[in-house]
C-alpha cells in the first residue's frame, strides 16, 4: 500500500500520508461520500474529486500489479523468462505495455505459425528473421526442411513466413511504435452500410466521414460507436504504409545481400495486413472510446453540478421526492431561499402500502408550507408510475 500511496501522492501532488489513510479507508469498505463527509480528519480534508482520483489510480495500479504478476508467473512456468524481459515487465507502467511484452509467450489457439512450428520450420523462419547470408538460394536452403508433413519447397517457405509474420506482430516494440503512430497519424473512416435503416438520419453526418484519429472529438467517437452498434455505420481505422512499415523495419530490416530478403518482405506485408494492423485498430478504437467516455462523464458531472447549484425558484416552495420501496419514499421541502423546511418519509407502496398515511403527510406538508399541490389522487398516481419504472 505504501508504494501505491507514494506513487499516487506524487501523481496528484498530495501528501503520502493523506493517500495512505485514504487507501486504508477504501480497503475498509468506506465510500467516497462517507470519507469526504465524515473522515476529513484522516484524509487531510480531501474533497470528493480528489478522493475519486485516488480511487481511480488505486484501482488501475492494483489491476496493473495483478496482471504483471500473472504474466511473470506464466512466462516463468514456460521456462522462457530472461533477466532482460523480467526487468521490462517490472518497469512497465501500464497494462498495454505488459500485454505487448507478453504477446510472444501468451498461449494461443492453434495458428498458422504454431502449425508451421509443429512441422519443424522454426529453423527456416530464423534464417528469414536474421536475414542469414547463406551460400545457397532460399529454395535450396528450404529443401533441408522437407519431411512427411512438408513435401514442397513452396510449402516450407510459406510455413516459415507464417512464423515470421506472427513473430513480427507479437514484437512488443513494433506494436508500441505502430500504436503510437496510429493514435497520432491514423485515419478513421465511417460510411453508411448499404440498406441500413436510419429513418431519422441520426448518423447522416457520418455517412461519408473521415478524420485523423488525433483530431476526433469525444462526441464524434461516441456517436460513431453507437452507429456501428446499431449496424448503420461501417468503421475502419487505417495507417499509411510508410508509417507501419517504418515501425517494422526498425527491428526487421530486409537485407538485399541475403537470399531471404524477398521472403522477409512478403512476411512483413502479411503480418501487417493479417495480424498487426487489425490488433492495432482494436487498440485505437478502445483507447478512443475510453477517452470519450471519460470526457462525457466529466461533462455530465459539470452540467449536473451547475444544475444542482442554480438559484432557488423565485417565490416557490418545492417538494422533492426520492422514490423507494422497502425503505419508503423520502420527502424534502425547500423554500424560496433554498432553505430546507421539512422532511419526511412515506410508504405508499409494497410491502407497507400505507396509502392513507402517505396522503395525510403530503396534505399536511401542503397545508403547512402552501405548496398548492395538484389533486392528491393524481399525485399518488404519478408516484406509483414513477416507482413502477425505476
The answer to whether 98 and 68 have CB atoms below 8 angstroms apart is yes
Q: Around 149, how many Cα atoms within 13 Å sit in the side-chain half-sphere? A: 9
Residues 161 and 263 in one domain: yes
The answer to whether residue 311 is domain-embedded is no
Please choose, from the candidates 253, 111, 136, the residue with its C-alpha nearest in 3D space to the C-alpha of residue 145. 136
**Cross-strand bridge partners of residue 235:** 190
**Residues 6 or more apart in contact with residue 284 via CB below 8 angstroms:** 179, 182, 183, 186, 188, 213, 237
Structural domain ending residue among the three candidates 105, 139, 163: 105
- Structural domain span for residue 202: 187-237
- Of 105, 139, 174, which marks where a domain is finished? 105
Domain-embedded: residue 135: yes
Of 215-229, 289-303, 343-357, the poorest mean pLDDT is in: 343-357
Q: What is the pLDDT of residue 231?
A: 96
Residues 132-136 have a mean pLDDT of 90
In a domain, 13, yes or no: yes
Cell 501522492 belongs to residue: 9
Beta bridge mates, 321: 331
CA angle 23, 25, 28 (to 5 degrees): 110
Do the beta carbons of residue 147 and residue 122 sit within 8 Å? no
Cis peptide before 351 (omega within 30 of 0): yes
User: Does residue 116 share a domain with residue 100?
Assistant: no
Do 16 and 91 fall within a single domain?
Answer: yes
CA angle (318 as vertex; 317, 322 as ends), nearest 5: 155
312 within a domain of the structure (yes/no): no
Residues paired with residue 331 on neighbouring β-strands, in sequence order: 321, 344
Residue 388 has pLDDT above 70, yes or no: no
Q: What angle do CA 200, 204, 205 make, to 5 degrees?
A: 140
Domain boundary among 303, 326, 353: 303
Within this chain, do residues 251 and 289 fall inside the same structural domain, yes or no? yes
Confirm whether 308 is domain-assigned. Answer: no
The enclosing domain of 149 has a CATH number of 1.10.3500.10
β-bridge pairing 318-322 and 329-334? antiparallel
One domain for residues 142 and 287 = yes
Residues 232, 291, single domain; the answer is no
- Is residue 113 within 8 Å of 166, Cβ to Cβ? yes
Domain holding 90: CATH number?
1.10.10.650
Assign 3-state DSSP to the chain and report helix, strand, coil percentages, each to 5. Answer: 65, 10, 30
pLDDT at 310: 76
Residue 312 is predicted with a pLDDT of 72
Paired sense of beta strands 329-334 and 340-346, if any: antiparallel
Same domain, 356 and 271: no
pLDDT of residue 371: 60
- Identify whether 120 is part of a domain: yes
Distances (CA, A) of 344 to 83, 323, 331, 350, 358: 66, 12, 5, 18, 10
Please give the DSSP secondary-structure letter assigned to residue 57.
Answer: H
Main-chain phi, psi angles of 361, to 5 degrees? -65, -45
Residue 313 inside a domain? The answer is no
In terms of Cα–Cα distance, which of 173, 179, 178 is closest to 251? 173
Reply yes or no on whether the pLDDT at 384 is more than 80.
Answer: no
Split into its structural domains, the chain has a count of 4
CATH number for the domain spanning 353: value is: 3.30.420.140
Q: Report the pLDDT value the prediction gives residue 355, as an integer from 0 to 100.
A: 84
How high is the pLDDT of residue 386? 45
Residues 18 and 88 in one domain: yes
Same-domain pairing of 182 and 199: no
- Which position has the higher pLDDT, 360 or 238? 238
pLDDT band at residue 385 under the 50/70/90 scheme: very low
Specify which residues 238 forms β-bridges with.
Answer: 187
Between 123 and 362, name the one with better pLDDT.
123
User: Which residues are paired to 340 by β-bridges?
Assistant: 334
Do 96 and 47 lie in one domain? The reply is yes
Between 112-116, 156-160, 271-275, 300-304, the lowest mean confidence (pLDDT) is in 300-304
81: pLDDT strictly greater than 80: yes
- 87 and 117 fall within a common domain: no
Sign of the C-alpha dihedral, residues 99, 102, 104, 105?
Answer: negative
* CA–CA dist 81, 253 (Å, integer): 26
- Tell me how far the alpha carbon of residue 70 is from its chain's centroid: 20
- 93 and 12 in a common domain: yes
Cα–Cα distance measured from residue 15 to residue 45, given in angstroms and rounded to the nearest whole number = 12
Query: Cell numbers 500504436 label which residue?
Result: 179
- Rounded to an integer, what distance in angstroms lies between the CA atom of residue 197 and that of residue 190? 16
* Helix (DSSP H) and strand (DSSP E) numbers for the chain: 18, 6
Three-state SS for 340?
A: strand
Is residue 129 domain-resident?
A: yes
Amino acid at each position: 500500500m505504501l508504494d501505491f500511496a507514494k506513487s499516487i501522492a506524487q501523481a496528484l501532488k498530495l501528501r503520502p500520508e493523506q493517500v495512505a489513510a485514504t487507501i486504508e479507508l477504501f480497503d475498509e469498505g468506506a465510500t467516497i461520500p462517507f470519507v469526504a463527509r465524515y473522515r476529513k480528519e484522516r484524509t487531510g480534508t480531501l474533497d470528493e474529486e480528489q478522493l475519486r482520483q485516488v480511487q481511480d489510480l488505486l484501482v488501475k495500479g492494483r489491476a496493473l500489479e495483478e496482471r504483471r504478476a500473472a504474466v511473470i508467473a506464466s512466462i516463468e512456468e514456460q521456462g522462457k523468462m530472461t533477466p532482460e524481459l523480467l526487468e521490462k515487465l517490472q518497469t512497465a507502467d501500464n497494462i498495454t505495455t505488459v500485454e505487448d511484452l507478453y504477446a510472444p509467450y501468451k498461449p494461443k489457439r492453434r495458428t498458422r505459425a504454431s502449425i508451421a512450428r509443429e512441422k519443424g520450420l522454426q529453423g527456416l523462419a530464423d534464417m528469414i528473421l536474421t536475414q542469414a547470408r547463406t551460400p545457397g538460394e532460399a529454395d535450396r536452403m528450404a529443401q533441408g526442411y522437407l519431411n512427411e508433413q512438408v513435401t514442397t519447397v513452396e510449402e516450407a517457405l510459406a510455413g516459415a513466413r507464417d512464423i515470421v509474420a506472427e513473430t513480427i506482430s507479437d514484437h512488443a516494440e513494433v506494436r508500441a511504435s505502430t500504436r503510437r503512430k496510429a493514435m497520432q497519424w491514423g485515419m478513421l473512416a465511417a460510411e453508411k452500410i448499404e440498406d441500413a435503416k436510419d429513418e431519422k438520419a441520426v448518423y447522416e453526418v457520418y455517412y461519408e466521414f473521415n478524420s485523423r484519429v488525433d483530431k476526433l472529438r469525444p462526441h464524434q467517437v461516441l456517436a460513431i460507436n453507437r452507429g456501428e452498434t446499431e449496424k448503420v455505420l461501417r468503421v475502419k481505422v487505417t495507417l499509411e504504409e510508410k508509417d507501419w512499415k517504418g515501425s517494422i523495419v526498425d527491428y526487421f530490416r530486409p537485407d538485399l545481400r541475403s537470399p531471404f530478403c524477398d521472403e522477409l518482405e512478403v512476411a512483413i506485408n502479411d503480418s501487417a495486413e493479417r495480424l498487426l494492423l487489425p490488433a492495432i485498430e482494436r487498440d485505437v478504437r478502445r483507447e478512443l472510446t475510453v477517452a470519450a467516455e471519460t470526457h462525457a462523464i466529466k461533462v455530465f458531472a459539470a452540467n449536473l453540478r451547475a444544475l444542482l447549484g442554480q438559484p432557488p425558484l423565485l417565490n416557490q416552495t418545492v417538494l422533492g421526492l426520492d422514490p423507494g420501496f422497502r425503505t419508503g419514499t423520502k420527502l424534502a421541502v425547500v423554500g424560496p431561499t433554498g432553505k430546507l423546511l421539512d422532511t419526511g418519509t412515506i410508504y405508499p407502496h409494497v410491502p407497507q402500502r400505507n396509502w392513507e398515511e402517505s396522503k395525510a403527510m403530503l396534505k399536511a406538508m401542503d397545508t403547512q408550507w402552501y405548496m398548492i399541490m395538484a389533486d392528491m389522487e393524481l399525485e399518488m398516481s404519478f408516484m406509483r408510475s414513477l416507482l413502477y419504472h425505476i
